[in-house]
């Protein structure tokens, strides 16, 4: 049975008196929260009476029988949290501290452990540690599950409650119990909270001509920072190839991902979103400017690459502008909108899904790399030096005058970061093939 809402009294006349006080609070809250007048709500749909009656009964039983007295406003706040938790892992109610924390994170500086986390099966799952944070330095990984925060079991906590426990003053300690896939027993790690300054972008040369740009998180100024990094590299040397490292990048601001992808494209769509509300259907296109002058690009991703990272990787993959290398990404293909309720509180609500230019939804699927390379520990196999022609007594010298063989040594990247090593090797191969395509083939001396 459904009931059209015209005012609190319409409901109260049909219910027993023990529920009246509860429904006054509930109906008042509904009336205050509704973005439209109640007459408009009446035109758009009906509220289910049976479910509303059950809700009011539970509300009243808690008020009267719970072991500790809880005021109505707190109970209604708990109800809001429960509604959002039941939707998806990313829709949450932001209390004053959580709202401020979100604003601090997107601005690039906050105090804490340096973890991007989500909720899965009642536990807090690490999406990725932030570069240079206490969590990253302690070796925590994407996919790790937090079982306990100090002596507090995570099971049963909301995501906001878990985050509140993890945050604290600089220099304070907290012990985490961690479950890691592939390990039968959990382990403990003690972290010291610190000021997390998220350096959104950093750049370097891997070798002469081969640049490297690491994006740790997509903040409001990330697009401009990547442009500056490119300009800095290209002012020093001709860019033969670029590695764009998005591993363990949990995402961030949607607009920033569009700005970054646009730096490597000559126009075209970067991403589009679709949702129920009219203004959630949006198309984001790149400016017709490739800031790299067409240099080959390899994008590195892994399980910790989420959201905005997947937008960039998906766009460059669909436009065949870059080769995606690494392991399958996280698979967060939804858009969250922060809707302020007051100056200090808000809800973060999933309002749309995003799609790559070719119409692929990444939700719960992720970006599949063009070339899969697992992160592994590689040891160079050093064999005793073999005798070569140059070692033989009386050997003929090279006719071109090259009499010395180069001594080869394993690149430090091979043992430090095998995925980055493979990306650099691929860029070198692409550059060699590109040079050969631009040069005439050598003629056979016997041809006429």
Tokens of 353: 């899904």
Whether the CB-CB separation of 340 and 443 falls below 8 Å is answered with no
> Phi/psi class of residue 196: alpha, beta or left (left: φ > 0; alpha: ψ in -120 to 50)?
beta
Whether the CB-CB separation of 313 and 321 falls below 8 Å is answered with no
Measure the CA–CA gap between 224 and 121, rounded to whole angstroms: 38
Whether the CB-CB separation of 300 and 420 falls below 8 Å is answered with yes
Residues in the chain: 448
Whether the CB-CB separation of 218 and 200 falls below 8 Å is answered with yes
Measure the CA–CA gap between 23 and 7, rounded to whole angstroms: 11
**Where do we find the tokens 């992720």?**
366
Measure the CA–CA gap between 205 and 349, rounded to whole angstroms: 41
Whether the CB-CB separation of 160 and 95 falls below 8 Å is answered with yes
Measure the CA–CA gap between 318 and 324, rounded to whole angstroms: 10
Measure the CA–CA gap between 191 and 17, rounded to whole angstroms: 53
Whether the CB-CB separation of 178 and 199 falls below 8 Å is answered with no
**Where do we find the tokens 């998005």?**
246
Measure the CA–CA gap between 310 and 305, rounded to whole angstroms: 7
Closest by CA to 183, choosing from 126, 136, 144, 129, is 144
Longest dimension (CA), the chain: 112
DSSP state, residue 376: -
Instruction: Give the active site residues.
Output: 307, 318, 332
Q: What is the DSSP string of 397-445?
A: PPTTS---PPPP---HHHHH-HHHHHHHHHHHHHHHHHHHHHSPPPPPT
Measure the CA–CA gap between 255 and 161, rounded to whole angstroms: 29
Phi and psi of 412, rounded to 5°? -55, -30
């Amino acid at each position: 049975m459904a009931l059209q809402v015209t005012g609190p009294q319409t409901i109260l006349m049909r219910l027993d008196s023990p529920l009246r006080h509860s429904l006054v609070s509930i109906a008042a809250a509904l009336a205050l929260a509704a973005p439209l007048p109640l007459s408009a709500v009446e035109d758009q749909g009906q509220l289910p009476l049976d479910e509303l009656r059950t809700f009011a009964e539970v509300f009243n039983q808690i008020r009267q029988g719970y072991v500790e007295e809880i005021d109505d406003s707190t109970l209604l706040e708990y109800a809001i949290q429960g509604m959002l938790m039941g939707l998806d892992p990313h829709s949450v109610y932001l209390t004053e501290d959580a709202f401020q924390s979100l604003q601090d994170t997107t601005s690039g500086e906050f105090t804490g452990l340096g973890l991007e986390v989500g909720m899965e099966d009642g536990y807090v799952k690490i999406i990725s540690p932030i570069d240079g944070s206490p969590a990253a330095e302690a070796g925590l990984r994407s996919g790790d599950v937090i079982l306990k925060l100090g002596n507090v079991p995570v099971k049963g906590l909301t995501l906001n409650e878990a985050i509140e426990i993890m945050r604290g003053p600089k220099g304070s300690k907290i012990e985490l119990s961690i479950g890691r896939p592939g390990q039968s027993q959990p382990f403990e790690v003690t972290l010291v909270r610190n000021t997390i300054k998220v350096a959104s972008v950093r750049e370097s040369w891997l070798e002469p001509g081969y640049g490297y740009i690491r994006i740790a998180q997509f903040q409001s100024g990330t697009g401009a920072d990547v442009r500056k990094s490119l300009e800095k590299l290209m002012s020093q040397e001709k860019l033969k190839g670029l590695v764009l490292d998005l591993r363990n990048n949990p995402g961030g601001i949607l607009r920033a991902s569009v700005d970054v992808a646009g730096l490597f494209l000559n126009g075209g769509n970067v991403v589009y979103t679709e949702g129920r509300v009219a203004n959630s259907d949006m198309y984001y296109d790149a400016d017709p400017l490739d800031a790299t002058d067409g240099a080959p690009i390899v994008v590195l991703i892994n399980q910790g690459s989420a959201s905005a990272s997947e937008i960039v990787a998906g766009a460059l993959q669909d436009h065949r502008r870059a080769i995606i290398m690494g392991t399958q990404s996280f698979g967060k293909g939804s858009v969250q909108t922060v809707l302020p309720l007051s100056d200090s509180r808000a809800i973060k609500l999933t309002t749309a899904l995003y799609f790559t230019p070719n119409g692929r939804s990444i939700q719960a699927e992720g970006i599949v790399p063009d070339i899969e390379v697992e992160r592994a520990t590689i040891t160079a196999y050093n064999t005793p030096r073999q005798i070569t022609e140059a070692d033989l007594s009386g050997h003929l010298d090279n006719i071109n005058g090259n009499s010395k063989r180069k001594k080869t040594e394993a690149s430090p990247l091979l043992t430090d970061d095998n995925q980055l090593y493979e990306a650099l090797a691929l860029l070198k191969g692409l550059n060699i093939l590109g040079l050969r395509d631009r040069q005439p083939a050598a003629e056979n001396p016997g041809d006429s």
